[in-house]
Amino acid sequence: MPSDARTGEQASTTQWQRFSVPYEFPVVFTDGLFDPENPVLRDALCRLEPTKRHRIIVFIDDGLTAAHPELLAAITAYAHRHADVMDLVRDPIAVPGGEKIKSDLHFVESAQQTLFELHLDRHSFVIAIGGGAVLDAIGLVAATTHRGVRHIRVPTTVLSQNDSGVGVKNGVNLHGVKNFVGTFAPPFAVLNDLDFVATLPERDKIAGMAEAVKVALIRDAEFFSWIERYSDDLATFERAAMAQMIRRCAELHMHQISRGGDPFEMGSARPLDYGHWSAHKLESLTRNHVRHGEAVAIGMALDARYAVLAGLLVQGEEQRICALLEYLGFDLWHPALARQGASGEWVILEGLSEFREHLGGELTITLLADIGVGVEVHEIDPALMRQALVWLRERAGA
Ligand SMILES: NC(=O)c1ccc[n+]([C@@H]2O[C@H](COP(=O)([O-])OP(=O)(O)OC[C@H]3O[C@@H](n4cnc5c(N)ncnc54)[C@H](O)[C@@H]3O)[C@@H](O)[C@H]2O)c1
Ligand SMILES: [Zn+2]
């Protein structure tokens, strides 16, 4: 409505507020992170203020401390050795590892209470050491306390080192929905120490490799061939191969976040989530008894077969993908996939609408047009997807 000086009516006016915020943070690969002579953590803390004595609190995955009983003392000793720049405000706090910490808001609240009691401010550091679940929950604590306290991630599983740890998201589960509460919050630094991975249960080592196969499938055919070539070494967790697999996978993730044009997932697409729509549903159908990576492996096999049925992917490539995943140690079927609702529909297919809902906007699913080439589609034919499920079940002899 135009303004009229005689009647005094106001016109609507719009001013565009516009700014952008550059983010940068180091992602370091090291070993012996808490060896007193290793400068990586010290350097990370001092990146912006080299002479300050930084206040730090450490939350640590109790699964990790069980496997590394010496770790708590090592962290304290490291802080003493670097006391000129580090003020560890209290002993490291062990928190439940795995999905447990993400499934009860009490843990988030209690960590925030600790930050409050110790008067940590926005320039203090919250360091999280552990698997993806602990990083997600403590990342949320850091991002929301005082609207954002500096946060350093020390991922200790294959999956968190090659995928979630280098990402920009955190979150916990609520109302039975994975990552229902969470934020996008780039960390201050990510410090990967391969030594930790050695003590991971085999099941988790295998599970973490799913994300490497995934990113290779949608982005990098050469990396996929590399995984095939080194599958003997990877299947036996040989250190050099694991290190290279983790590094390349992390690099490809970092590249997607910085160059993909949508680091905070404002659009409807989530290109890195190949195989994930059914994986998320399978995780919740099994109440997280199936690990994320295990579910992603099944999801990738399912969507590879679907892509063949839909005429996108050359027949035979889905077998190649399944063979590699099985060789690495994955099972490509779970009975929960066959669950049917009252209407007779496969319950797993609800994962499609739930996936769309989590992202908002139009349904966008990444499928394969070739190995190394992900394409986005906006429709999934349920009849073909049912056929793909049947194929997967028959293939597994289930
Ligand atoms: N934020 C993101 O972008 C993102 C991306 C992918 C996955 N995730 C989340 O990550 C979580 C899965 O993470 P994960 O696969 O790292 O598993 P996890 O965090 O569930 O850990 C698995 C188990 O390993 C233990 N553990 C951790 N480090 C260990 C070590 N070095 N030695 C021995 N035991 C150790 C833990 O205590 C736990 O029992 C899921 O909640 C998933 O939603 C987040
Ligand atoms: Zn994933």
CB 136 near ligand 1, within 6 Å = yes
Confidence of residue 360 (pLDDT cuts 50, 70, 90): confident
Yes or no: say if 130 and 153 are a contact pair by the CB < 8 Å rule. Answer: no
- What spacing in Å lies between the alpha carbon of 133 and ligand 1's midpoint? 5
Least confident of 6-10, 23-27, 133-137, 295-299: 6-10
First to last CA, the chain: 67
**15: buried, middle or exposed (CB in 10 Å: 19+, 13-18, 0-12)?**
exposed
Yes or no: say if 143 and 170 are a contact pair by the CB < 8 Å rule. Answer: yes
Q: What is the pLDDT of residue 260?
A: 86
Residue 2 has pLDDT above 60, yes or no: no
Mutation choice for ligand 1 from 27, 60, 61, 330, CB with most ligand atoms inside 8 A: 61
What distance in Å separates the CA atoms of residue 329 and residue 202, rounded to the nearest whole number? 10
Mean pLDDT (whole number) for 54-62: 98
Output the six-digit token pair for 341. Answer: 């609702």
Q: What is the pLDDT of residue 4?
A: 59
Q: Return phi, psi of residue 239, to 5°.
A: -60, -45
Residue nearest to atom 12 of ligand 1 (CA): 132
Tens-place pLDDT, residues 320-342: 999 999 999 999 999 999 999 98
Cβ neighbours of residue 330 under 8 Å, at least 6 residues apart?
A: 206, 210, 294, 297, 298
Yes or no: say if 361 and 270 are a contact pair by the CB < 8 Å rule. Answer: no
- What spacing in Å lies between the alpha carbon of 127 and ligand 1's midpoint? 16
Q: Return phi, psi of residue 278, to 5°.
A: -80, -30
Q: What is the pLDDT of residue 57?
A: 98
User: How much is the mean pLDDT over the chain?
Assistant: 94
Q: What is the pLDDT of residue 356?
A: 85
CB 182 near ligand 1, within 6 Å = no
Cβ neighbours of residue 331 under 8 Å, at least 6 residues apart?
A: 294, 298, 396
Q: What is the pLDDT of residue 8?
A: 65
Q: What is the pLDDT of residue 288?
A: 84
Residue nearest to atom 9 of ligand 1 (CA): 132
Nearest ligand to the C-alpha of residue 283? 1
- Cα 255–Cα 261–Cα 264 angle in degrees, nearest 5: 90
CB 160 near ligand 1, within 6 Å = yes
Q: pTM for the whole thing?
A: 0.93
Confidence of residue 141 (pLDDT cuts 50, 70, 90): very high
Q: What is the pLDDT of residue 5?
A: 61
